[in-house]
Amino acid sequence: MAAYQLAQERLAAEFAARWAATLAAVEAREIAGSLAELEAAYVAAIRESAAVSRTLSVAFYRLVRALETGRVIGGPGYRPASSLGSLWADFNRATGKRTGTGPREPLPVDTRDPFPAADLAREARRAEETFRHQVADRIERHERERPARQGSAALDDAELVAWEKEFLESLKTGSSGAGGMLVQDGGRDAIHAALQDDPGALGYYRKTDASPCYFCALMASRGAVYKSRRTAAFGPHPHCHCQVVPIFSRRYQLPAENDAFARMWKRFGGGSLADWRTYYSTTTKTKT
């Protein structure tokens, strides 16, 4: 289900580009005075993209479920007389790509809605907290350091300019990574929650992006996570584009990467997480 993973990754990238443009429009020295506007823009961009991510995930979940069980599930976006053809059409619309088609015969329906309503207040709170940690607090610290840093140097002093630029870059990297996580959580949380409430779902596996970090590769190497392990949280992180792919049948097929990570883990032979990190980075480096 690469199309789904790529579409979610693209949503995070679109958010990052939009946020970068907002940041670029502000002068480094005026940034502290623009915090309210920046926060409003940051939160709005995250929440709009998270809503798109969620819609995409619901279409994906419904499609995978129908492909594996032959049945349609209710919930947001459900339309009567849904067929594999109409579910593919919904999914294609959500990804903006033509990724598949199917027959038009209506499928039997499970009327249950396993998707919890979006918790708008919680989403807003998470976005605001992320802004505070990733942007507001860091700008405040930076402003405090500036007088000492500047001393008697002129405003266009090369070192000072480089210092300001470096700060803005790291601010952008941190805030777009954390914001992109919230964007994709719109979809990841919807699928993770729906699984728990859908008797037809067995569990999920982790679909990583093309070059996941050692942590995500390890999680992916473990294959399917079955529902009975309720404590198993998904564990995304900033700059992570892993997605939750639901499983409805024991005949699911893991992506080739997950199998490759499992073989790598076996060859690694066990050890601490730090050892695995070293092993993973050297192995993937020699491969490319």
In this complex, which beta carbon is closest to Zn ion, that of residue 87 or of residue 178?
A: 178
* Closest CB 235 distance from Zn ion, rounded Å: 8
* Closest CB 280 distance from Zn ion, rounded Å: 13
Give the β-pairing of 72-73 and 109-110: parallel
* Closest CB 8 distance from Zn ion, rounded Å: 11
- Rounded to whole angstroms, how far apart are CA atoms 130 and 136? 9
In this complex, which beta carbon is closest to Zn ion, that of residue 72 or of residue 219?
A: 219
240 binds Zn ion (CB under 5 A): yes
Whole-angstrom CA distances from 256 to 8, 78, 263 are: 19, 32, 11
242 binds Zn ion (CB under 5 A): yes
Q: 155: how many CB neighbours lie within 10 A of its CB? A: 9
In this complex, which beta carbon is closest to Zn ion, that of residue 249 or of residue 281?
A: 281
In this complex, which beta carbon is closest to Zn ion, that of residue 75 or of residue 236?
A: 236
* Closest CB 127 distance from Zn ion, rounded Å: 20
* Closest CB 220 distance from Zn ion, rounded Å: 8
Helix 256-268 × helix 214-221 angle, to 10°: 100
Tokens representing 238 are 């900033």
In this complex, which beta carbon is closest to Zn ion, that of residue 194 or of residue 216?
A: 216
- Rounded to whole angstroms, how far apart are CA atoms 84 and 74? 14
Binding span for Zn ion by CB under 5 A among 57-65, 81-89, 175-183, 212-220: 212-220
> Cβ contacts of residue 45 below 8 Å, gap of 6+?
15, 18, 19, 22, 179
* Closest CB 167 distance from Zn ion, rounded Å: 27
Q: Binding Zn ion by CB under 5 A: which of 7, 181, 202, 216?
A: 216
Token pair 């300019």 is found at 161
Let me know the angle formed at the C-alpha of 267 by 263 and 269, rounded to the nearest 5 degrees: 120
- Rounded to whole angstroms, how far apart are CA atoms 254 and 76? 28
In this complex, which beta carbon is closest to Zn ion, that of residue 41 or of residue 220?
A: 220
* Closest CB 124 distance from Zn ion, rounded Å: 25
Helices (H), 25-119: 35-69, 84-95
The count of chain residues that interact with Zn ion, using the rule CB under 5 A, is 4
Binding span for Zn ion by CB under 5 A among 65-73, 156-164, 170-178, 242-250: 242-250
Binding span for Zn ion by CB under 5 A among 11-19, 85-93, 162-170, 214-222: 214-222
- Footprint on this chain of Zn ion (rule: CB under 5 A): 212, 216, 240, 242
